[in-house]
Amino acid sequence: MFFYALYWIGSWGTLLLPRSVSYWIACRLADFWCLWCAKDREGVRHNLEQILGTREVSEAQVREVFRNFGKYLVDFFRFQRLSPEKMRQQVTIEGLDWMREVLRSGRGAIGLTAHLGNYELAGAVLALSGLPVNAVVLTHRNPRVNAFFERQRGRVGVRGIPLTQAGRRSFFESALSVLRNNQILALVGDRDFSNHGLKLPFFGKWLDVPTGPAAFYLRTRAPIVPGFLVREPGGRYRFILERPITVPPDLKREEAVRQISQACLEVMERYIRRYPTQWYIFHDFWTPGPSVIL
């Protein structure tokens, strides 16, 4: 109930106040969170150390992760006011033709991103650009919070496919039907929630990574299009879509899964390293433990 009230107040507050004022308030709340939640703060610090390859991570860098997450929520809360025109005023888009070209093939597209920048807004940008977007999403424990997130995505034309049925036939059939209908299946590929991941190196450390993008690609041959929407100075965003990931067609399945998954990791590494304070993971990423859905 607490988180639902928090999201509800945040949603209405950001609609009533100017975006700049909402950002200021979000940053002050983020500072409080960073100061008083030592576990989250140290998790962020450890992640930055691993990404940057140094123990010299400043307090300002750690705090910036919390602040950027607060701004991410502000813009997510303001989806009710987001139109194609306002979206184009706030977001510079690069490489949208890659996605359009992939969809012209008729096999659908697998959109790959990470918990970086504003991944919810990335789906909104594609949908407001006239493309059919279906995002694989986690289900929040609180039904009201979950319904709130579904409403926000629905306001901008993004349909959610809950991952609560991961491993069950119904989930995979729903996801596969998206691709068979020549639509976009959007995946956040930097965390494994299925407990069936593949162990690969990520920023020099081994961990279990999700194989969903590879599995859907091998089943349908729908191209994987990496895309990352990152924050820029002045409250603007840049959405960068890259050339589709490809592998040789004659690989055995096990090797194909490994190569595709490694290619997905490499492109995510490149963007996370470039924008380290926009990666929203608030626990020690390389230490196994329960995942928290914010």
> pLDDT (tens digit, 9 = 90+) per residue, 16-55?
999 999 999 999 999 999 999 999 999 999 999 999 999 9
Residue 36 belongs to some domain of the structure: no
Which ranges of the chain have pLDDT less than 50?
166, 291-293
Mean residue pLDDT of the chain comes to 91
Q: How far from the centroid of its chain's Cα atoms is residue 78's Cα?
A: 18
CA distances (Å), origin 12, targets 8, 15, 66, 109, 269? 6, 5, 21, 34, 35
Contact 145, 3 (CB under 8 A): yes
Contact 71, 24 (CB under 8 A): no
Burial of 97 (0-12, 13-18, 19+ CB in 10 A): exposed
Residue 43 belongs to some domain of the structure: no
Residue 102 belongs to some domain of the structure: yes
Residue 229 belongs to some domain of the structure: yes
Structure tokens at 165: 């049925």
Burial of 224 (0-12, 13-18, 19+ CB in 10 A): buried
CA distances (Å), origin 53, targets 48, 146, 197? 8, 37, 25
pLDDT recorded at residue 292:
46
Among residues 96, 138, 91, the alpha carbon closest in space to that of 225 is found at 96
pLDDT recorded at residue 119:
97
Residue 58 belongs to some domain of the structure: no
Residue 123 belongs to some domain of the structure: yes
**Tally of domains in the chain:** 1
Provide the domain limits for residue 265: 82-275
pLDDT recorded at residue 1:
54
Residues 198 and 122: their CA atoms lie apart, in Å, by: 26
Residue 56 belongs to some domain of the structure: no
pLDDT recorded at residue 138:
85
pLDDT recorded at residue 293:
45
Residues 38 and 44: their CA atoms lie apart, in Å, by: 10
pLDDT recorded at residue 289:
56
Q: Give start and end residues of each alpha helix (H) in the chain.
A: 2-16, 19-36, 38-52, 59-77, 84-90, 96-104, 119-128, 143-155, 169-180, 212-220, 253-274
Residue 285 belongs to some domain of the structure: no
pTM of the predicted protein model: 0.92
